[in-house]
Structures are given as structure tokens and as C-alpha cells.
């Protein structure tokens, strides 16, 4: 499957080199001369995601206390929430993985998919700016916020 078909599913144009980098796992990087991996884009995407979600839920759920807002945010920025979104977008099919990660089913691992989702978001931000990144989060992540009470009920015991 081509990266252009992925781009159409993402709904945004990303510089091809950045999109490829966002899909490059450290295992591939290591096995191919320690070329750059998606870790820096993942770091950036995680921050963009946290900011956009935090701003939205603070504005939308004015009756909730800070602790409840934190639990909702943590629920939607978790690997458990992001992996199915990445899977739906087909990110696993496009991951560049090392041999061992490929053999161990890396394309379907929740943490790798969630990391790729965040790296792609970082690439969107870098390539197209905060407005495009925000629109991507609105389209992909905000539907998870339709039922905040369910997110609060499903929170990890530790966050309660």
C-alpha cells in the first residue's frame, strides 16, 4: 500500500520524508545503520496531542474538576485508545520495522501502533502546522470524548 493512500486516510498532506520518518521504528533504524527513527516525532506528537485534548476538554467539560479532566485526558491519549485509531488508519501496514520486531508481530502491537499515531501527529504538526494537527486530532480522537462519564468509569484505578 502506498504512502499516498495513507495520506488520503489521514486527510492531510505531509512531507514524504517526514511521513516515512514517522513510520520508522527504532528496530528498523538500528538494523539500517542507526538512521533516524520516529522517536523525536513521537515525542512532539505526544505533546501536541496532550495540548489539543487538554484545551478541548477544559473548554467543553466546564463542570468537571481538574482530577476528572486529567482522567479523561489520560484515557484518550493512552496506548489503549490510540492503538485502535492507528489500526483503523492502517498505520501498522506502513511501519518500517526491524526483522525481530516484524517476526514478533510488531505491526499489531498496541504500543507500537500508539507510538506511530503520535509520530504521525508530530509529522503533521511539523509539515502542516498546528491547525492541521488540531483538525487531525478533532477527526480521530475527539469522537472518543463523546461519553466522558464512560471514560471516567473506565479510568485506571490508580488515577481514581
pLDDT beyond 90 at 158: no
Domain coverage including residue 54 = 3-159
pTM, two decimals, is 0.92
Decide: helix, strand or coil at residue 24.
strand
If you average pLDDT over residues 74-82, what whole number do you get? 94
Q: How far is CA 103 from CA 2, 21, 114, in A?
A: 22, 21, 19
The domain that holds 80 is classified in CATH as 1.10.1520.10
- Which residues are known to be catalytic? 46, 118
Number of structural domains the chain divides into: 1
> In the structure, what pLDDT confidence band is assigned to residue 2 with cuts at 50, 70 and 90?
confident
As given in the structure block, the three cell numbers for residue 12 are 492531510
> In the structure, what pLDDT confidence band is assigned to residue 126 with cuts at 50, 70 and 90?
very high
Q: Find the Cα–Cα–Cα–Cα dihedral 145, 75, 51, 113, rounded to 10°.
A: -100
pLDDT beyond 70 at 1: no
Amino acid at each position: 500500500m502506498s504512502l499516498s493512500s495513507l495520506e488520503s486516510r489521514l486527510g492531510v498532506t505531509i512531507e514524504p520524508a517526514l511521513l516515512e520518518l514517522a513510520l520508522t521504528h527504532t528496530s528498523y533504524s538500528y538494523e539500517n545503520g542507526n538512521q533516524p527513527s520516529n522517536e523525536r516525532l513521537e515525542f512532539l506528537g505526544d505533546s501536541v496531542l496532550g495540548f489539543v485534548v487538554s484545551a478541548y476538554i477544559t473548554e467543553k467539560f466546564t463542570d468537571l474538576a481538574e482530577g476528572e479532566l486529567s482522567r479523561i485526558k489520560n484515557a484518550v491519549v493512552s496506548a489503549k485508545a490510540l492503538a485502535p485509531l492507528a489500526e483503523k488508519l492502517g498505520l501498522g501496514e506502513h511501519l518500517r520495522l526491524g526483522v525481530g520486531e516484524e517476526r514478533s508481530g510488531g505491526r499489531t502491537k498496541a504500543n507500537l501502533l500508539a507510538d506511530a499515531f503520535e509520530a504521525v501527529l508530530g509529522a503533521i504538526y511539523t509539515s502542516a502546522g498546528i491547525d492541521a494537527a488540531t483538525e487531525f486530532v478533532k477527526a480521530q480522537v475527539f469522537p472518543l470524548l463523546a461519553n466522558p462519564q464512560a471514560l471516567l468509569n473506565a479510568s485506571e484505578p490508580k488515577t481514581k
